[in-house]
Amino acid sequence: MPASSANLGPGFDTLGLALSLYLRCTLRKSSQGLQIQVSGCDSSEISLNRSNLIFRAFSRLASKETQEAVKLEIVNEVPLGKGLGSSAAAILAGLALANEWEGLNRSKEQLIQMATEMEGHPDNVAAAARGGLVVSCQAEDGAVISVNSPIIQKLEVVLVVPQCRLSTEAARAALPESYSRPHAIFNVQRVALLLAALREGRADLFAEAMQDRLHQPYRASLIPGFADILKLRNIPGLLGLALSGAGPSVVAFCDGRGAAEAGEAIAACFREHKVAAEIHRLQVDTQGLVVEKAS
Ligand code: HSE
């Protein structure tokens, strides 16, 4: 399962981009009851019992007998609680493992639907499942509709991950109940512009297209340095930047030349607020959810 960056600025709860950091899970038969083994990023924070999120999702589809007779091996590259879709990846992984193990033949759409019901919103789930750039929405009856949208191949993605946490609940609680018409129009215009910029590779459009009035202004005060990051301009090769999901990580699109400088400038803003940050230069993942039978 790939990590994912949701929103991309104006596409709140709508856009998601799958990224080349992975959660890999293997399921085997166990004769010693349920066993969970974890390694990799933030592994000390991943539960080894039935409260494990991957296992909780797995239990939604797997029989009681199966749940007691498996060994789950988790190798994680996705930082937890940083706005990189770690919970969406975990939920989808659990559902996909149960689907395969029990031979349930649930489609990717059905897994996206179930995962969205557990996660609460579709953007990370749909991107992690489908790979690439994904547009998603929920119909009034809750049905999730998601579709890939074209994206230029040569896009450098820089992700800056600060060493601070922000829970999605807290980041969502900071948002207002309603928005003014100018703000709604502002975002609708920019989501459409951003999809065109990503499709056509229009470097000149990104800075404007990644502006947002629905969530970033309200979350800025929760993330040390983010208000300064939003003001970063004139870095050669930096096309545009946004909060990754609910934050606190920042995702930036660059044209190759600018990736190193852009990452450094964003990390410097975090450092000025006494928060260390890691810079990752990533690719867009194009595969999404991959399920393989182990030999
Ligand atoms: N669209 C969601 C948000 C992503 O911004 O709250 C968080 O997982």
Copy the structure tokens of residue 172: 């969502």
Ligand 1, atom 3: closest residue by C-alpha: 246
- The answer to whether residues 237 and 114 belong to one domain is no
User: Is residue 136 within 6 Å of ligand 1 at its C-beta?
Assistant: no
Report the atom number in ligand 1 closest to the C-alpha of 243.
5
Rounded mean pLDDT, 2-9: 98
To the nearest whole percent, how much of the chain has pLDDT over 70? 100
- Residue 169: CB atoms within 10 A of its CB come to 10
pLDDT at 153: 84
pLDDT of residue 175 exceeding 80 = yes
Rounded mean pLDDT, 165-183: 94
- The answer to whether residues 26 and 138 belong to one domain is yes
Among residues 95, 123, 149, the one where a domain terminates is 149
Ligand 1, atom 4: closest residue by C-alpha: 245
Among residues 120, 149, 178, the one where a domain terminates is 149
164 within a domain of the structure (yes/no): yes
To the nearest whole percent, how much of the chain has pLDDT over 90? 92
pLDDT of residue 66 exceeding 80 = yes
Q: Write out the E strands in the chain.
A: 2-7, 11-29, 35-40, 70-76, 133-138, 144-149, 156-162, 238-243, 250-254, 277-282
For the chain, the domain total comes to 2
126 within a domain of the structure (yes/no): yes
User: Residue 102: which CATH number?
Assistant: 3.30.230.10
Closest CA to 132 of 105, 157, 111, 115: 157
pLDDT of residue 166 exceeding 90 = no
162 within a domain of the structure (yes/no): yes
- The answer to whether residues 177 and 241 belong to one domain is yes
pLDDT at 168: 87
pLDDT of residue 55 exceeding 80 = yes
- The answer to whether residues 201 and 126 belong to one domain is no
69 within a domain of the structure (yes/no): yes
The DSSP output letter for 275 is -
pLDDT of residue 71 exceeding 70 = yes
- The answer to whether residues 254 and 226 belong to one domain is yes
- The answer to whether residues 118 and 198 belong to one domain is no
pLDDT at 294: 72
Cα of 65 vs centre of ligand 1, distance in Å, is 35
pLDDT of residue 257 exceeding 80 = no
User: Is residue 214 within 6 Å of ligand 1 at its C-beta?
Assistant: no
What are the phi and psi torsion angles at 139 (to 5°)? -70, 170
pLDDT at 102: 95
What are the phi and psi torsion angles at 17 (to 5°)? -125, 125
- Residue 134: beta bridge partners? 16, 148
Q: Name the strand (E) or helix (H) holding 41.
A: none
pLDDT at 295: 66
- Tens of pLDDT, residue by residue over 181-230, are 999 999 999 999 999 999 999 999 999 999 999 999 999 999 999 999 99
- The answer to whether residues 263 and 160 belong to one domain is yes
- The structure's pTM equals 0.95
C-alpha distance from residue 43 to each of 23, 28, 36, 46, 131 (Å): 11, 20, 12, 5, 24
- The answer to whether residues 74 and 181 belong to one domain is no
Among residues 149, 173, 193, the one where a domain terminates is 149
C-alpha distance from residue 100 to each of 64, 79, 87 (Å): 16, 26, 20
Closest CA to 206 of 153, 245, 248, 242: 242
Does a cis peptide bond (omega within 30 degrees of 0) precede residue 10?
no
pLDDT of residue 57 exceeding 80 = yes
Burial of 279 (0-12, 13-18, 19+ CB in 10 A): middle
Mean pLDDT of all residues belonging to the chain: 95
Range of the domain at 40: 2-149
287 within a domain of the structure (yes/no): no
Ligand 1, atom 5: closest residue by C-alpha: 246
293 within a domain of the structure (yes/no): no
User: Residue 261: which CATH number?
Assistant: 3.30.70.890
292 within a domain of the structure (yes/no): no
- The answer to whether residues 128 and 168 belong to one domain is no
- Tens of pLDDT, residue by residue over 95-133, are 999 999 999 999 999 999 999 999 999 999 999 999 999
- The answer to whether residues 90 and 201 belong to one domain is no
275 within a domain of the structure (yes/no): yes
pLDDT of residue 256 exceeding 80 = no
pLDDT at 78: 97
CA dihedral 210, 129, 116, 220 (to 10 degrees): -30
- Pocket mutation for ligand 1, best pick of 15, 123, 251 (most atoms within 8 Å of C-beta): 123
pLDDT of residue 233 exceeding 90 = no
Q: How confident is the model at residue 167 (pLDDT cuts 50, 70, 90)?
A: confident
